[in-house]
Amino acid sequence: MGVTVEAGDPSDLRADVLVVPVAEGADGVAEGLDERVRARCAELLSSGEATGEFAKTTIVHLDPDGPVKRVALAGLGRRVDADAVRTAVAGAAREASRVGGTIAYATSRSLPISAEEQSAAAAEGFVLGTYDPGQWRSKQRPRAGFERLVLVGGDAERGQRAARIARWVNRARDLANSPPNELTPEELAGRAQQYAEDAGNLQVEALGRAEIEELGMGSFAAVAQGAHNEPRLIVLRHDTEDARADLTLGLVGKAITFDTGGISLKPGLRMESMKGDMSGGAAVIAGMCALADLGVPVRAIAVVAATENMPGGGAYRPGDILRAMNGKTIEVINTDAEGRLVLADALWYAREQGATHLADFATLTGAMRLALGDLYAGMYANDDAWAEQILAAAEASGDHLCRLPLHPRYRRYVDSAFADMKNSSILKQGSPALAAEFLKEFAGEGPWAHLDIAGPAFIERSRGDYLWQAGGTGYGVRLIAELATRLAA
């Protein structure tokens, strides 16, 4: 969406829809607005026709020939934060999708978040909230489309930057929502190349099956051996002259473009959502493009392991013993625990290529979704300082994250009688933790964090906020852009 984001003055505002944020329990609206607009808003609130309840939007007409044609009173709820503003603008834009033209957001100094934060959140809410996942319909729904977002009393620069990142989030969503017959590993590599060209200052290569095997990636290659569509190891590199010499950010993404579970076949119910099992890889690709597009002065490398996980005569089996790139051997207990197998080789490769600080993004365990739902991802890390940097970036970006304990005694869950370790456990205990302990064996020396994004990366229903559309959410792109920006500071 090529919408223009700009700042505006209340005195000369012209808009087809003006979004006025209202906190629950508040008796007033944003200061500085035209007196007629303020009076109409006060009337709607006092009558109960409009409310400050979270995610509730009331749109009324003012004057079809006036400078502001409609006002949208958007509820923020009692917890007023950036998510509330994102949701307010997304809801108003959704409700007014047939109107088009100019939508404006009235920045309020009375809210507990700054005008700069409101500007960024409003831009994000607009871009993310107007995303349409139904791109494969033969007939598109009628929508006028907005051309401008005006931040009344806001910060245009912050808004423009946020909108720019949000557009990359939507491109990650495009990848996650693409059907698996269309988005094969080879096609994902092609899209990564296209995205990188759009972003600029990125080098991309895609290694095929023979090169993967030549590198000794026996773990990754085993997962790929049952699929007709060929695997790809997608590598993106970003460098600038003013980047820190002592830091190379390493981003690793799981990209199972369709996951049947392999021989350990998944249940058929909702298997169609397994096209989203490449959401970690999508986030890493789009996140790298976002930081390159923004010109963040940081050296970074992204490694995305892309394959299907299919059953068949050539598929890997429970009981197989694999040799990973770092020489360690793995007994396969469950072929549906394939994500950690492809990540194992990708992590080691990223470290070999010079990554000093690693973070992997993966829709890895259903247990993480059960524990944290669709709002928070879970993180395990081997370095407290690195974990704190990622957590701070997550909270600032809106990609919410919770750190969970990584303890060496969890390692016993993946002990094997026949190999160095096994890829799963028959015990119904601590599956996200044992997956993290498994991955730790391949993270090499230096700070590393594992982000299990199974809950918020691909949702089956509306989240009730600015991410109201089912499917891919692009979780991780904003986090990556924020983290890289902080590392470059």
As annotated, the active-site residues are: 266, 340
CA dihedral in degrees (163, 128, 358, 280; nearest 10)? Answer: -150
Distance CA 119, CA 454 (A): 29
The encoded tokens of residue 426 equal: 């028959």
The encoded tokens of residue 303 equal: 């490694």
Q: Are 233 and 304 in contact (CB under 8 A)?
A: yes
Angle between helical axes of 115-129 and 156-177 (0-180°, round to 10): 30
Which pairing describes strands 357-362 and 248-259: parallel, antiparallel, or unpaired?
Answer: parallel
Alpha-helical segments (H) within 252-379:
279-294, 339-352, 366-372
Distance CA 231, CA 305 (A): 8
Contacts of 435 (CB under 8 A, 6+ apart): 337, 339, 340, 364, 365, 450, 452
The encoded tokens of residue 77 equal: 């709820």
DSSP three-state, residue 188: helix
Distance CA 235, CA 479 (A): 20
Q: Which amino acid is at 343?
A: L
Distance CA 414, CA 307 (A): 24
Provide the b/e sequence for 396-425 (b: ≥16 CB within 10 Å): bbbbbbebbebeeebbebbeeeebbbbbbb
H-helix or E-strand spanning residue 395 = helix 384-397
Q: Which amino acid is at 345?
A: D
Distance CA 187, CA 180 (A): 10
Alpha-helical segments (H) within 77-203:
82-95, 115-129, 156-177, 185-199
Q: Are 65 and 12 in contact (CB under 8 A)?
A: no
Distance CA 480, CA 169 (A): 11
Distance CA 111, CA 13 (A): 21
DSSP three-state, residue 249: strand
Contacts of 64 (CB under 8 A, 6+ apart): none
Which pairing describes strands 232-238 and 203-207: parallel, antiparallel, or unpaired?
Answer: antiparallel
